[in-house]
Amino acid sequence: MLRNRIYYGLKPFVPQPLRTAIRRSWALRLRKRIADIWPIMPGSERPPENWSGWPAGKKFAFVLTHDVEGKTGLGKCRSLMQLELELGFRSSFNFVPEGSYRVPAGLREELTASGFEVGIHDLKHDGHLFASHRSFKRRAVRINSYAHEWGASGFRSGFMLRNLDWLHDLDVQYDASTFDTDPFEPQPDGGHTIFPFWVPRPNGSSANGHESTAASSSRAGYVELPYTLPQDSTLFLVLRETTPEIWMRKLDWIAQHGGMVLLDVHPDYMSFNGSPQTTTEYPVALYREFLDYVKTRYAGEYWHVLPKEVAAHIIQVRSSKTSSREYELASLKTRRLRGRNAAVLLFSHYPADPRPRRAAEALAAQGVNVDIICLRDDDGEPARETFGNINVTRVRLKRQRGSKLGYVGQYATFVLASFFYLASRSLTRRYDLVHVHNMPDILVFGATAPKLLGAKVILDLHDPMPELMQTIFGLPEKSLSVVMLKRLEKWSIRFADLVLTVNLACKKIYSSRSCQPDKIKV
């Protein structure tokens, strides 16, 4: 997104204390608005299709990861490793290959010899990894070189920036750059699941058009491991929490639903010398308290493994001859939709109108974040309402029937309201799709801002508006009003990327005067 490019371009010139203060102020305001989706996202507890559970009948999986961002964190790795060994845990340490420090081979060897994992954390950790696909491909070559040298199976990008399609260029078994819900991140659209999932390669071939090596899982795809607990930096430095209670509460919820608890903590921000919590560090005692809670509250109930072992399990089960067809975690279509953003424009009521409701629910079921703008008749209906990951915003508008001017006025008001709503939302949320239900046809122009930013627009024509208005007002076919309606219909269809309609008879009407047959689907 443009704002991320601007931010990471200016970041080196903005002092760290100022950046932290700005982020904290913004996060505290945001927190008041997101209680319904963070730290728990309703619907993310749904298991993948034909989910068979964890090995050995364990209740849930428990995975620990650490992103080492700078020299300070590098110097604390051994202390953190010793703490986890003392408590009986293992984790993955993810290092930046070309960042502000160099990773000693001795440290990597010591970690792996002690049963820990070493992973790749971005390339330079500068926010520019996904600036363009061409530059990403160049950087992927270097990332793959480090992965082979270090024996790394997994990758996580800096700042959780990501493009899951591009990540097929990496020779890794898994990526861990997503989350179930984290509105505080610069790319806040989560995967909305507390389970690992498979990301298949779109065309089934390797990134360079040839078969990958046998050692690389990227021949067919990779496993995505979303982190499912808030990051330590968010919890203790940004939100200034003083206990790990949120971690514990979220863990209890994930355990209840049999998901994967995956935590990302940073040694950079831990204090091992007993100093109190500050704006840049928190006592390691908070992390210890959480691990003690897991160890005592759920003794014998969790599958504690390294991320690469979760990935290997998913790959093994998926490729099993006896169960691969039954266990496919999700289709390519589902994986490509998960975490996307869609808007719905509806000059009607939600959830009362069945066709738009079914369409929105179908998107939400695939993990899409759906924003609906619809009508509100009276104060008894809430102006805003949430149904899982469907967010409904209602516009108060008294529907007037009986006069042409009444229709024109209310349609124009709703189109303008939709336009300004989506334009403002597009500043903070990039839409991938806008689904517009007629009537009116011109409601499609309410999606102008998202379309200019790359969204695809679907115009769903429930009724042919010229014919309907002819019937309602008894208008002659060649009257000025009908001619204008047909012209507006043509412009609206031309603006849309795809047109849907309800039956073949309607398709015939539209294709005869306004739409190419291959652009309209029933």
What per-residue confidence (pLDDT) applies to 364?
86
- Whether 418 and 289 map to the same domain: the answer is no
User: How far apart (Å, rounded) are the C-alpha atoms in residues 334 and 318?
Assistant: 16
pLDDT of residue 187: 86
Of 281, 299, 332, the position where a domain reaches its end is 332
- My answer on whether 406 and 434 are in the same domain is yes
246 and 99 together in one domain: yes
Output the pLDDT for position 230: 98
CATH number at 21 reads 3.20.20.370
* Residue 445 and residue 319 in one domain: no
Whole-prediction pTM value? 0.68
Residues 198 and 335: beta-carbon distance below 8 Å: yes
Return the closest-CA partner of residue 496 out of 440, 455, 463, 439.
Answer: 455
pLDDT at position 370, please? Answer: 94
Print the domain residue range for 90: 2-332
What is residue 496's predicted lDDT score, i.e. its pLDDT?
93
Picking from 278, 308, 332, the residue at the C-terminal end of a domain is 332
Do 360 and 310 lie in one domain? The reply is: no
Please, what sign has the CA dihedral across residues 227, 229, 235, 239? positive
Q: Choose the final residue of a domain: 306, 332, 358.
A: 332
In the sheet that holds 390-396, the strands lie side by side as: 384-387, 390-396, 369-376, 341-346, 433-437, 456-461, 498-501, 520-521
Side chain identity at 449, as an amino acid letter? A
Per-residue model confidence (pLDDT) at position 9: 59
Task: Tell me how crowded residue 53 is: count the other CB atoms within 10 A of its CB.
Answer: 12
Number of domains in the chain: 2
Q: pLDDT tens digits, the chain, 522 residues: what are they?
A: 555 555 555 556 567 677 777 888 888 888 888 887 899 988 889 888 778 899 999 999 999 999 999 999 999 999 999 999 999 999 999 999 999 999 999 999 999 999 999 999 999 999 899 989 999 999 999 999 999 999 999 999 999 999 998 999 999 999 999 999 998 988 887 888 999 999 888 764 444 443 333 334 446 899 999 999 999 999 999 999 999 999 999 999 999 999 999 999 999 999 999 999 998 999 999 999 999 999 999 999 999 999 999 999 999 888 774 444 444 444 445 556 777 899 999 998 898 888 888 899 888 878 888 999 999 877 778 889 888 789 999 998 766 655 677 778 888 999 999 999 999 998 878 899 999 998 889 999 999 999 999 999 999 988 787 877 777 777 887 888 888 888 898 999 999 999 988 777 778 888 787 777 778 887
Whether residues 440 and 315 fall in one domain: no
- Residue 75's identity, in one-letter code, is G
Do residue 308 and residue 446 come from a single domain?
Answer: no
Q: What is the pLDDT of residue 483?
A: 87
Q: Looking at the structure, tell me whether residues 345 and 305 fall in a common domain.
A: no
CATH number at residue 353: 3.40.50.2000
Angle ∠(186,192,195) on CA atoms, nearest 5: 120
Q: Which pLDDT score is estimated for 340?
A: 86
SS3 letters across 142-198:
HHHHHHHHHCCCEEECHHHCCCCCHHHHCCCCEECCCECCCCCCCCCCCCCCCCCEE
pLDDT for position 427: 83
What is the pLDDT, as a whole number, of residue 463? Answer: 78
pLDDT (0 to 100) of residue 333? 52
Give the model's pLDDT for residue 39: 95
Residues 387 and 479 in one domain: yes
Pairing of strands 154-156, 174-175: parallel
Distance, in Å, from the CA atom of 352 to the CA atom of 345, rounded to the nearest integer, reads 14
Query: In terms of domains, do 12 and 58 share one?
Result: yes
pLDDT of residue 404: 72
The verdict on 311 and 236 lying in the same domain is: yes
Spatial distance between the Cα atoms of 355 and 438, rounded to a whole number of angstroms: 12
User: Are 245 and 348 members of one domain?
Assistant: no
Name residues whose C-beta falls within 8 Å of residue 44's C-beta, 6 or more positions apart in sequence.
180, 181, 190, 192, 193, 194
